[in-house]
Structure 1
Amino acid sequence: MAYVNNVRTAAPGFAGITSFFAGLSERYARYNVYRETMNELNELSDRDLADLGLARSTIKSVAFEAAYGN
């Protein structure tokens, strides 16, 4: 015969709220990295970007990769 045990270690309401705010905080931090990277790269001249091996059209994808790692 099989038995199933379901044990919860924290109250579902509190754990849900905590994970919600943790996720929200992480999303905000990643967006800040994206925004700061975009701003810094947009301030560079075309020559500086070329020295880095970037084109102005790739700034958005580079910033996205820096923030989200994709």
Structure 2
Amino acid sequence: MAYVNQTRAVTATSTDRLSSLVATLKGGLQRRRVYTQTLRELNALNDRELADLGISKFSIPEIAREAAYGL
């Protein structure tokens, strides 16, 4: 019995690596923008508005982090 096994090695070109790096940086910048915007908007609320939402001033950074990074 005979069979053929053919494997092609694919290497990433420098253009592929650069475009991947750019995409990663863009994604990181976008997540950072979401984080800072969420912080800004929540910090602009007064204590009464935050209480209506069930949010403490101390949990604002955690909420912003979760909104941006899903952590």
Between structure 1 and structure 2, the one with the greater Rg is 2
Equivalent residue, structure 2, for 1:24: 25
Query: Which of 4, 7, 10 is matched with 1:5 structurally?
Result: 7
* Structure 2: tracts of 5 or more residues without a match: none
TM-score (norm 2): 0.86
SS at match of 1:5: coil
Q: RMSD between aligned alpha carbons? A: 1.9
* Structure 1: tracts of 5 or more residues without a match: none
Percentage of matched positions with identical amino acids = 39
Extract structure 1 runs of 4+ deviating beyond 3 A.
none
Cα distance, 1:6 vs. partner?
A: 3.9
* Number of matched pairs: 69
Cα distance, 1:4 vs. partner?
A: 7.3
Higher mean C-alpha deviation, range 28-37 or range 11-20: 11-20
TM-score (norm 1): 0.87
Equivalent residue, structure 1, for 2:41: 40
